[in-house]
Amino acid sequence: MTRQASPPSHWRRAVAIVTTAALVRLIFAALIPAFPDETYYWDWSRRLAAGYFDHPPAIAWLIRAGGLVLSPFGVSGPIVIRFGPVVAGWIATLATIATARRLGGDAAAVRAAIVITVLPLAAAGLILATPDAPLLAAIAVGVYCIVRVLETPIGSGASLKWWTVAGIATGAAFASKYTSIFFPLAVVIAVFARADLRARLREAGPYVACFVATMVFLPVLYWNSQNDWVSFAYQIRHGLEANTDSLLRRAWRQEGDFFGGQVALVSPILFVMFAIVTGRSLGKRATPERFVLAMIATVSFAFFVYSATRRRVEPNWPAPAYIPAIVLLAATDWGAIAKRWLTAGVALAAVMSALIYVQSVTPILPIAPAKDPIARAHGWRDVAQRADSTAEAIDSETQATTWIGGDRYQEASALAFYGAGHPSTFATNLSGRPNQYDLWPRFRDLARPHDNLLLVVDDDGGAMHQSVKKLAPYFAETRRGGLVSLKRGDAEIATRRLWILIGWRGGWPMPDAGT
């Protein structure tokens, strides 16, 4: 499809749509309490590094950048965590509509702007401070660069320029999330699949792009080499290691959950239309640009279809596949019936996104508080305040330092973010999985004999928590503290128990094998 002529105002309209959407996301970013995963990444940003246990470092650096912008104005709260990621999301949408403009003209840019604005995946996902924010920005810029490459003569200076920028974007994607490897892999597959694309292998650009991407990613590789490749090992296990129980039955259930999650994130109608336009663009008659975009979408999505046969896949993980799919959808000439379906899909997605926004502020959907994903962000300030006041009382009583922590990274990071003065906290990880807190100085590294530890854990109905049982022999006294309810308004979501361990004797238990 060639680009169609359209009034210049259409491009300005497309930019205005995605910019307004970013401003709306910024408002909700300030209103919605921070989720524990977000406070975890925020804690990373306080100790910048070239890598972390769970992910590459881009999200930590992005959060720190947002804080540097807002802190001179005295801004605090969740918006400090989310400002950088929201800006990254805006860049992702700008690059997406720019790519649609290259393929289908300004009118296609407007359609892409509308689609990416109403998708729940973007409307909700681009508010949160997760590695997906820098990932989508880098992938969207990389997709734009690849399209520009394919528009230029082979071996030209313009081609080399766009290959180089594509390499920078690819390196940035690698530094955001390891699953970004499917972006360059898909481009390689597409190049070898068609003769008109294989000609690109005769120019220097692809090799320059690989070199540049490697140089951008090199600090992350070095960090991993100095930390026993812990981040790579964790992600490989996280994405591919299969559970052992009822393999076939579990695979069917996980695939159902996976596709259900995709339908929820992009709306059922648009999901089907994405699949149709991607499949058509893999055909022999598709232009090179469309074929490459379709291959990027297909390879990125197909991996997670496979991964879901082995482990549960989070709905947001295939998000990069939708960047090229949105471009293809927007740049396609649809027939009258398909246009009606597209309009219906946009309307349905807009309603779904609006419901998410309203639900994030005021619960209106018939979802039990304990099962409401948005409710997981609520109540942590109360837990942190109770922990602070209890620790202060123990300090006065024992005349020793009382450190604060949790058994998991969620509690530890929320206590750090919402606690007075943003204290350094610990995750003991005696019952849960290893994480970044295992790589930082731990209680046993910093505490002195006779210091105390206040631990926030799940309430076990009054019984001693298993992690507290493991720690008790290493302290002179163990006290059961109060219960704290995590609430959204008057609705109780969950409860946490405070345990106070008095007078550290030295030593520390080993974590459970396999965690």
Span 351-389, pLDDT tens digits: 999 999 999 999 999 998 888 999 999 999 999 999 999
pLDDT in tens, 176-215: 999 999 999 999 999 999 999 999 999 999 999 999 999 9
What percent of the chain is helix, strand and coil (3-state, nearest 5)?
Answer: 65, 10, 25
Residue 101 has pLDDT above 90, yes or no: yes
Helical (H) or strand (E) element with 187: helix 182-193
pLDDT in tens, 485-499: 999 988 999 999 999
Dihedral sign (CA 285, 291, 295, 297): negative
User: Of 25-29, 208-212, 247-251, 343-347, where does mean pLDDT reach its minimum?
Assistant: 247-251
- The answer to whether 402 and 394 have CB atoms below 8 angstroms apart is yes
Distance CA 483, CA 499 (A): 9
User: Of 8-12, 79-83, 231-235, 469-473, where does mean pLDDT reach its minimum?
Assistant: 8-12
The pLDDT value recorded for residue 209 is 98
Distance CA 42, CA 414 (A): 10
pLDDT in tens, 26-71: 999 999 999 999 999 999 999 999 999 999 999 999 999 999 999 9
Residue 514 has pLDDT above 70, yes or no: no
The more confident residue out of 172 and 254 is 172
Please give the C-alpha separations between residue 220 and each of 129, 175, 208, 294, 371, in angstroms, as whole numbers. 20, 7, 20, 29, 36
Nearest residue to 384 (alpha-carbon basis) of 375, 396, 374, 392: 392
The pLDDT value recorded for residue 420 is 94
Nearest residue to 277 (alpha-carbon basis) of 260, 259, 263, 297: 297
HEC sequence for 287-318: CHHHHHHHHHHHHHHHHHHHHCCCCCCCCCCC
Q: Percent of the chain beyond pLDDT 90? A: 87
Residue 81 has pLDDT above 60, yes or no: yes
The pLDDT value recorded for residue 331 is 97
Distance CA 247, CA 240 (A): 13
Pairing of strands 402-406, 452-458: parallel
Beta bridge partners of 226: none
Quick one: average pLDDT of 213-232? 97
Quick one: average pLDDT of 259-271? 94
Residue 2 has pLDDT above 50, yes or no: no
pLDDT in tens, 298-314: 999 999 999 888 888 88
Residues near 233 by beta carbon (within 8 Å), at least 6 away in sequence: none
Listing from the earlier edge strand, what are the strands of the sheet with 491-504? 426-427, 402-406, 452-458, 491-504, 475-488
Tell me the pLDDT band of 288, cut-offs 50, 70 and 90.
Answer: very high
The pLDDT value recorded for residue 239 is 67
Residue 432 has pLDDT above 50, yes or no: yes
Task: Domain ranges for the chain, please list them.
Answer: 8-361, 377-504
Mean pLDDT of the chain: 94
Distance CA 336, CA 246 (A): 47
The pLDDT value recorded for residue 238 is 75
Residue 3 has pLDDT above 70, yes or no: no
Buried b (16+ CB within 10 A) or exposed e, 339-359: eebbeebbeebbebbeebbeb
Cα 422 versus chain centre, distance:
23
Tell me the pLDDT band of 120, cut-offs 50, 70 and 90.
Answer: very high
Distance CA 252, CA 379 (A): 35
- Angle of helix 336-361 versus helix 8-31 axis, rounded to 10: 30
User: Of 135-144, 190-199, 373-382, 458-467, where does mean pLDDT reach its minimum?
Assistant: 458-467
- Angle of helix 58-70 versus helix 36-45 axis, rounded to 10: 80
Quick one: average pLDDT of 12-25? 98
**CB-side exposure of 166: number of CA atoms within 13 Å?**
23
The pLDDT value recorded for residue 330 is 98
Distance CA 365, CA 342 (A): 26
